[in-house]
Amino acid sequence: MFALKNRIYYSLKFAKCCQSRNFRVGKATLESVNLKGSSFLTLKDFNAEEIKHILWVSADLKHRIKHRGEYVPLLQGKSIAMIFEKRSTRTRMSTETGFSLLGGHPCFLTPQDIHLGVNESTTDTARVLSGLADIVLARVYSHSSLEHLDRDASIPIINGLSDLYHPIQILADLLTLQEHYGSLKGLTLAWIGDGNNVLHSFMMSLAKLGVNLKVATPKGYEPDANVTQEAQRLSKKFGTKLQFLTDPVEAAQDSSVLVTDTWVSMGQEEEKKKRLKDFHGYQITMQAADFLYQLVQAPNPNFHACELQLYDSI
């Protein structure tokens, strides 16, 4: 009973704290959402209530662990198998650190440690990991590898990146924007760059949260046609604006945040010379952001240089 009272007290205190930090806790995020046992391959599979709930839990844990210094061993006795066909400093460190902070044990597996679909079939890998781990995060080349793992595994599979989607990156971005603006609804995000997996995940989530999206890509680098069709359906359903452009300045106009990504992803090294040429002018630096802001200056009160989400660009 004491623990229950303490938790209720903390939840009310956290909600008040969030409001004082301009972090508006929506009603949907406080309702019961049961995601236990669910895999996370794409944000396409999650509705608005579920995404908001994930963001609320993330903000709660971040506040408790980072700002209050609490130890929250929710994953004590649990292990995560981390399959990395594609290396990543940030994804590996954030996953291992986060899982450890929650009391769990991360196990890092490279192509040298695990031969996914080569010496050992994907089905066998899924079955073995299901018996030894509690969850799998896989950072792979082909999205079909994740779908195969998910079909044959009896434990949840998380997409750490695939050629089609990068949902955990977008959850981190959405949490950042929510912390800055207090609410996501009504914001306009401008994507300037490649029509890649990161953009695809934005396209599968923003409309559900009431966020408008402008996409500026060079000709020939547009997002996947099937993803675009679904994004258009979502935009119409939730009443948001979705635009596809080729001019970065036009995309930046009246936007709340500018987002880009690397022009040459792992596996595209042979295209580097051509991509560097084709993506000229699609780079976002603080100087470029200031330049774009001056060009579109019919001032947008929601736009602040300090609130730009900047990625490493070539």
Enumerate the active-site residues: 261, 306
179 CB-contact burial (10 Å; exposed 0-12 / middle 13-18 / buried 19+): middle
- Nearest alpha carbon to residue 174 among 288, 301, 13, 26: 26
- Nearest alpha carbon to residue 150 among 83, 88, 102: 83
Distance from C-alpha of 146 to C-alpha of 72, rounded to nearest angstrom: 29
**CA 148 remoteness from chain centre:** 22
Contacts of 278 (CB under 8 A, 6+ apart): 218, 220, 221
